[in-house]
Amino acid sequence: MADNKLGRQTVTFKNFPQIYTAFSTAGKKEGRGPLGNWFDSILEDDKIGQKTWEEAETKMLKDTVVGAVRKAGIDKHEIDVIFNGDLINQLMSSSYAVRELGIPFLGLYGACSTMSESLIMAGAFVNAGYSKYAAAAASSHFCTAERQFRMPLAHGNQKPPSAQLTVTGCGCALLRESEGAAGCCEGKPVYVTGGTIGKIVDKGINDTNMMGAAMAPAAVDTIETHFRDTGRDPEFYDMIFTGDLGKIGKNIVKDMLGKKGFDMTKNYEDCGCMIYGEDQDAHSGGSGCGCSGSVLCGYIFQNMKKGIFKNVLIVSTGALLSTISTQQGESIPGIAHAVAISTEKERV
């Protein structure tokens, strides 16, 4: 019966759920970066008038969802379900943001892979007809992540070149069934055509300053599986984006996939490498759910609307560690999910 799957891990959406609108928010530093012009909203200061950093992230996420809803010209009560996640314990920011929105909520924890994960889930719900409108969102905030996973902000220390910077940012994509959706919103329609659900890959890295190296093998596994399941190759896509591998992880992906016979040198980028400029002292690059979230809902989505990208594969990557596992000396389990997005109704 499972006629909407390819291989073991790839799903295909034959009803072509459409990304109706997408809204991206970025922090002050990210707003000054090379992608500054592509974000829908840039925070003037990262605390946005709230008492705590967690409240600030909650507000950022809520405003982003509201932004996507407003763009669509619908009421938030028309959204049937929101798939949503962040990095903070027990999905604090997501739950508190949704508390005030009154949208049926399924929380997801995929660490920094959450944007792909939520997009696959929202796509599946719309494709199956369970939802007319489904939202997919992910957020991260430098200051909330720093205090949970690392050191207090005012603590003086030095980080190695392999370290990454958690992005303050957020993305929300609003999906709806493509029937009857034509003619709305400017630009080309953007469809989620399918996705490949990743397996956990752990090569034994336990240095939390080596996230790129810890997650890269998971991205390699998922991308390779995607190509094998679908029969596609890197050339099929105009661009392939990984979530937040940074410079080191990106080079590892190129090298490992190159050795497997997939040429990733031409059309592959990493959102973590794109979001900060060389002069922004981001070491290896950006990380966090908001990294691929804000880049996908800003830069990538808008470029697809304009018709510059036709077929895109987004592979958000996550490090599924916890503060406890780190202290107990466990290695970092990596995960990556791939989502195929297209401006054409072409089945995966």
Partner 1 sequence: MKKSKNEKDAKKRYEEYVSRFTPGSRSVSNGIKAFVVGGALCSAAFVVQNFIQQNFGLESKEAGTIVTVGLIFAAQLLTGLGLYAPLAKFAGAGVIVPITGFANSMVATAMEFKSEGPVLGVGSKLFQLAGPVIVCGISVSVIVGLIYYVMGIFDFKLPWV
Where along the sequence are the contacts to partner 1 (CB under 8 A)?
Answer: 51-54, 147, 151-158, 160-162, 203-205, 210, 213, 217, 248, 251-252, 255, 331
- Minimum CB separation of residue 252 from partner 1 in Å reads 6
Please state at what angle helix 53-72 crosses helix 142-149, rounded to 10 degrees: 140
- Minimum CB separation of residue 120 from partner 1 in Å reads 28
- Minimum CB separation of residue 254 from partner 1 in Å reads 10
Give the Cα separation of 347 and 173 in Å (integer): 21
Phi, psi of 214 (to 5 degrees): -70, -35
- Minimum CB separation of residue 251 from partner 1 in Å reads 5
**Quick one: 212 or 318, whose CB is closer to partner 1?**
212
**Quick one: 24 or 284, whose CB is closer to partner 1?**
284
Q: How far does CA 12 lie from the centroid of its chain?
A: 19
- Minimum CB separation of residue 272 from partner 1 in Å reads 14
- Minimum CB separation of residue 54 from partner 1 in Å reads 8
Give 190's contacts (C-beta < 8 A, 6+ positions apart). Answer: 18, 19, 301, 304, 305, 341, 342, 343
Give the Cα separation of 82 and 31 in Å (integer): 26
Radius of gyration (C-alpha) of the chain in whole angstroms: 18
Q: Is the dihedral of CA 149, 165, 99, 133 positive or negative?
A: negative
**Quick one: 47 or 70, whose CB is closer to partner 1?**
47
- Pull the structure tokens for residue 333: 């389990």
- Minimum CB separation of residue 162 from partner 1 in Å reads 5
Residue type, 79: I
- Minimum CB separation of residue 258 from partner 1 in Å reads 13
Residue type, 326: T
**Helix residue ranges per DSSP H, the chain:** 28-31, 53-72, 92-99, 114-128, 142-149, 211-230, 246-259, 271-274, 289-295, 301-305, 323-327
**Quick one: 203 or 232, whose CB is closer to partner 1?**
203
Residue type, 161: P
**Quick one: 12 or 331, whose CB is closer to partner 1?**
331
**Quick one: 90 or 157, whose CB is closer to partner 1?**
157
**Quick one: 159 or 232, whose CB is closer to partner 1?**
159
**Quick one: 80 or 146, whose CB is closer to partner 1?**
146
Phi, psi of 190 (to 5 degrees): -120, 120
Measured CA to CA in angstroms, residue 211 lies from 285, 327, 328 at distances of 10, 16, 17
